[in-house]
Structure 1
Amino acid sequence: MDANEKDQNKNLMIALVLTGLVLVGWQYLFPQPLPESSVQQKTTEASTSTDKIQNDNINVVTGKDIDLSKEATNEVNSTEFILENESARVVISNFLELKSFSYKNTSRNLNEVFPEFGAKISILEDGKRFEQGFNLNQISPTEIEFSQSKTSGLLRLNSDGQLLIKAKSDQGLQFVGSIVSKEESKDQKVNNFVYYTDELVTEAVGEDLFEEKDIKLGWFGIDYDYHVLAFVVPGNSFHLRGEKSELKLANLRALNELEFKVSFLKKNYDDLANLGDNLKNAVDFGIWSVIALPMLRGLQLFYSYLQNWGLAIIFLTILIRLAMFPLQHSSFKSMKKMQVLQPELKKIKEKYKDDQRKQQEQTMALFKKHGANPVGGCLPLFLQMPIFFAFYRMLYNSVELVDAPFYLWIQDLSERDPFYILPALVGGAMYFSMKLNPQTSMDPAQQKIMKFMPLMFSAFLFTLPAGLNLYIFVSTIVGMAQQIFVYKRTPSSVSA
């Protein structure tokens, strides 16, 4: 999660706290979606006996020895090669530097998603770099052989769109990978460095980027905007080191053979799961994954019938609201009772304004007489919050919304509303929803602040995807309808 997204989530949580039931199902203060691993273990030797180098004279470069200045590409000697099949197209240099990576089933390529990003792969022989690059020989549209000194290898673009890199040498090889984000990137889009280890996806950004550790990796890469670039290195032990906006890794042990994959993927949960290597963990549902994944299946089911992701969001939102109605009914009923009792509460407050103890006793007696509970509306609200939080996380991570049109002016549900119509509609719905809950117990200053909440809330939504705005609007409208339904069936006056 980048810095901008965290700021948006913080603002939205403030809106939730201030507006209470109006914002049921909206936003919350996110736990880190990419939880930091609390265990930074020194890994055991990961190589099998056939992979181990027995010669103690082999040089091994550690993370502390990684110097990216030595990895600068010699532009004079740089040559680009293309690997292409029905799934993907990759442009790579003889220095094994990714120049372009695009999938045929998406309109976006690596350079468009990560405009301020650089990826470099180095293979070291006996601890030394190949300063002049490799000799590359293209043997087919999807395969390139490379060699230098005593090292030989193969680049192959698999049918699933993953780039396979294999190398071998009797002198001992190391993989050194680096991903770089330029500091001048204004919106910090590409600071989402991530790595997978011990069944956790960890974000390395900000101060965490400066951590230095030895870990056993499954994959590492960069994550942003419904896409992930992953270097898959399962089971290998690495030294990880971060500097400024760079993440660097090197094998802890030299090997006779190296094999790893590079994948630039849309974060489609099912596609990533099919590829294996725990890449599915790049789709972050946070702590709500147990709930969010079934919701994703529900969204996909509605789409299979409706053939429109916007309509699928609407119908799934209505279904969830209906499923939550028993809890909401209790909450709305309790709120209505408290609203009806407000005149009596004001009388008690005025009558016993100089006796706080008596005022409290009379207030509790009034609640008991009419079966009202001042916190009765809160418990059902908190019980249903995980459902709405999970739905939000599911939508925020749904790559299905990318390039998915709705109707009229909404041509991409993953992008913000170009005319801000949906945020304005949400603000209007929120205003009328607040009218259903007169805050008579608030002092005048608080009431004035609440009047501005719809406008402020709309402003918070301007930069969020249209799909999320659609969900919030429909959820608010359905919630209002349910509240009106309950209020009409709840007595509007108290008996003597």
Structure 2
Amino acid sequence: MLDKMTPNQRLMLAVAASIIFFVAYTAIFPPAEPQTQVVKTQQDVKVKHQDTTQASQDVIEPTTGHSITKEVREVAGRSNTISTVTHKDFILKIDTLGRISSKELLQAKFNNKEGGHAQLIPETGMKPLYIRFLDEVIDNESKTVAYSASVENIALDGSPQKVTLTQKLSSLTVTKELTFYADGHYDAKVSLSQDKRYFIYLGQRPQVTEQMMTVSGAMVYTDDEIATIVEDGDAEGRKTFTGVELISAFDQYSATIMYDFAKDTVITLERDREDNPVVYFDALQNMSFSGYIGQKEYKVLKNIKPVLTNAIEYGWFTFASKPLFQLLSWLHGIFGNWGWSIIALTLIIRTILYPLTYKGMVSMQKIKEISPKIKELQAKHKGDPQRMNAAVMDMYKKHNANPLGGCLPMILQIPVFFAIYRVLLNAVELQGAPWIMWVSDLSLKDPYYILPILMGASMYYQQRLTPNNFTDPLQEKVFKYLPVIFTLFFLTFPSGLVLYWFVNNLFSIAQQFIVNQQFQNAKEAEIAASDHAQKIEHKEAQDSKKSTGRKDD
């Protein structure tokens, strides 16, 4: 069957198969970032790493599933919450272990799948600002003595608010001074009355929104602009880092972030019993840093500190996705609607790619025109593949047709599609963002499946317009069923992504109309020129006969 296909057909089939395979494979096995170990001041890190080898058995192993002990409950009374921070958009709670134990988002657009308010900190597992000591005696005592808070209730009305947490152990006093801000970030100052070795934990990642093909796990971003991402289930061994700009535990739209460490702070990334990443750092007797718990909104993170925008994860296509999102955000500033901004972005992309796609479409038209002649050559030299290939290439050259011309533009567009795909899948700004009429949330699937059906219909119509030269009926049938397959696949995709694909198809249809019309006009002009030439020849022949007749007379 493959022997009967032209090189163009084989490449087109390979591209189509690659796209389907890539999408299906990514759905099942989302791409993982290289787990690069970034170590600066190598000698210093090695010494500290050796010091923590024994400690890891005590410090790291019990990290997951930690619960409040019976003694702590008794100290705390009826509730283990010692301080509550309220804002119009969220409620944050601090528990008797001095941890941020809860952050509830009050905005309806961030609601979870069950329709309730999103809870960014899971009930079980490690929580932000949890402290563990290297000294086993102190560590055990720290689990049974509750912190006290200087303020029980804090109302954030625009100005920063401070709370001081104190834990008095038999030989040590721990103080955490936390300043909260309305934008969701906080500053932390942790101090000990004596210099003891201890570790502060980032906490478990949020578990609010996770659609297929999104990444969830932990990130360490260093000052050499390298982001090490370890997905849930993929953590292996221990990695240490210095020169860290931020650490993050994240899901699709939200993250727990810590940043503003001293450059020599040693950040450690471990794995828990389920091979999920756990991040913590060696703290000093007097330690200052900042944190953020909330949605990964670009403008919010940029206003807090520009480096935090690197916590927005785009996977392999970050190099292209990041500027695309900035362009999309700029367009939103013009249109004020994310749906129309997606359409405008699609128009810009198609305009930039127009020369490339135009050449591809022209090449496909030329291949279609000479397809009957190619089939004749293939039949004529059926028993001599070498001669057949040479004759076919001569035919392509003679008609200025590139057998790869129709496929290369398609291949080059694939990175663009996946870049914009990652943008629309990871942009929390689309949550609760309406477009028109029935599309009230571009981050969710179309409730009436109108957009996926329109997308499939436009894809089918585009196929009807696009020239092809399939020689195998089975291949042609498979190709025709692709719109149905893609429609079914896109039924559960976010509306914003389906909107992009649908509008992209419309531009392709318009461009194909233009190319087809140009070829039709050229063909009509060629026929007209040929008819005109025949008329002239006929007239010249008639004139010649008349002239000859006169001479005979």
Q: TM-score, structure 1 length as denominator?
A: 0.82
Residue type of the alignment partner of 1:212: R
**Structure exhibiting the larger radius of gyration computed from Cα positions:** 2
Matched, 1:220 2:247: yes
Match of 2:57 among 57, 61, 64: 64
Give yes or no for contact 2:151–2:164 (8 Å, CA) kept in 1. Answer: yes
Q: Return the match for 1:485 from 502, 514, 523.
A: 514
CA deviation string 1:194-246 (max 9, x = no partner): 33235222222255313212222433332223222213362320332112344
In 1, Cα distance between the equivalents of 2:449 and 2:499?
Answer: 12
Structure 2 segments unaligned to the other structure (5+ residues): 1-11, 46-50, 112-116, 155-160, 531-553
2:167 partner amino acid: Q
Equivalence for 2:193 = 170
User: 1:382-435 CA distances to partner (integer Å, 9 max, x unpaired)?
Assistant: 444444443333322322211101112211001111222211211111111111
In 2, the alpha carbon distance for the partners of 1:90 and 1:206 equals: 25
Q: Deviations over 1:442-462 (max 9, x none)?
A: 412212222221111112212
Residue type matched to 1:242 in 2?
Answer: R
Shift in Å, 1:124: 4.2
- CA change 1:146–1:126 in 2 (3 A) is farther
Q: CA deviation at 1:161?
A: 2.1
Counterpart-to-counterpart distance in 2, 1:257 and 1:93: 22
Contact 1:209 1:244 in 2 (8 A): no
SS in 2 for 1:358: helix
Do the aligned partners of residues 181 and 275 (structure 1) sit closer, same or farther apart at CA in structure 2, a change above 3 Å counting? closer
Contact 2:314 2:426 in 1 (8 A): yes
> CA offset at residue 87 of structure 1?
6.5
Matched, 1:431 2:463: no
CA distance 1:124–1:186, shift in 2 (3 Å): closer
Higher strand share: 1
Over 3 Å counting, the alpha-carbon distance change for 1:106 and 1:270 in structure 2 is farther
| 2:102 aligned to which of 100, 103, 106 | 100
Q: Select the structure with the greater relative contact order (CA < 8 A; seq sep ≥ 6).
A: 1
The counterpart of 1:35, out of the listed 33, 36, 40, is 33
Structure with the higher fraction of residues in helix conformation: 2
3-state DSSP of counterpart to 2:151: strand
Find the partner of 2:166 among 122, 131, 147: 147
Aligned pair in 2 of structure 1 residues 427, 218: CA closer, same or farther (>3 Å)? same
Aligned length: 469
Q: Is the 8 A contact 1:114 1:190 kept in 2?
A: no
For the structure 1 residues 143 and 20, does the alpha-carbon distance in structure 2 shift closer, same or farther, using more than 3 Å as the test?
closer
* Whole-Å separation in 2 of the counterparts to 1:469 and 1:162: 34
Q: Distance in 1 between matches of 2:108 and 2:41?
A: 38
Q: 2:292 aligns with which of 260, 263, 269?
A: 263
How many Å apart are 1:275 and its aligned residue? 1.9
Paired residue type of 2:86:
E
User: Using the alignment, how far apart are the partners of 1:463 and 1:102 within structure 2?
Assistant: 27
User: Which of 257, 265, 281 is the matching residue for 1:230?
Assistant: 257
**CA-to-aligned-CA distance 1:161-216 (integer Å, 9 cap, x gap):** 21333221232252331644799x99899952333235222222255313212222
Provide closer, same or farther for how the CA distance between residues 15 and 286 of structure 1 changes in structure 2, counting only shifts above 3 A: farther
Is residue 341 of structure 1 aligned with residue 370 of structure 2?
Answer: yes
8 Å Cα contact 1:34-1:286 kept in structure 2 = yes
The answer to whether residue 219 in structure 2 is matched with residue 194 in structure 1 is: yes
Whether the 8 Å contact between 2:257 and 2:291 is mirrored in structure 1 is: yes
Counterpart code for 2:110: R
Give the C-alpha shift of residue 268 in structure 1.
2.1
Note closer, same or farther for the CA distance 1:274–1:180 as it changes in structure 2 (3 Å cut). closer
What is the CA–CA distance in structure 2 between the aligned matches of 1:210 and 1:319, rounded to whole Å?
43
How many angstroms apart in 2 are the aligned matches of 1:248 and 1:292?
27
Contact 1:426 1:469 survives alignment (8 Å): yes
- Structure 1: gaps of 5 or more residues: 1-13, 48-57
Distance 1:20 1:135, change over 3 A: closer
Please state how far the C-alpha of 1:112 moved relative to its aligned partner: 3.9
| Structure-2 change in CA distance of 1:125 and 1:289 (3 Å) | closer
Out of 79-88 and 430-439, give the one that drifted further: 79-88
Secondary structure in 2 matching 1:210 = coil
Q: Is the 8 A contact 2:218 2:229 kept in 1?
A: yes
* Percent of paired sites with the same residue: 27
Partners of 1:37 and 1:200 within 8 A in 2: no
Sort the Cα spacing of 1:139 and 1:374 in 2 relative to 1 into closer, same or farther, 3 A.
Answer: same
* Structure 1 range deviating more: 64-73 or 192-201: 64-73
> Residue 138 of structure 1 aligns to a residue in which SS?
coil
1:134 paired to 2:129: no
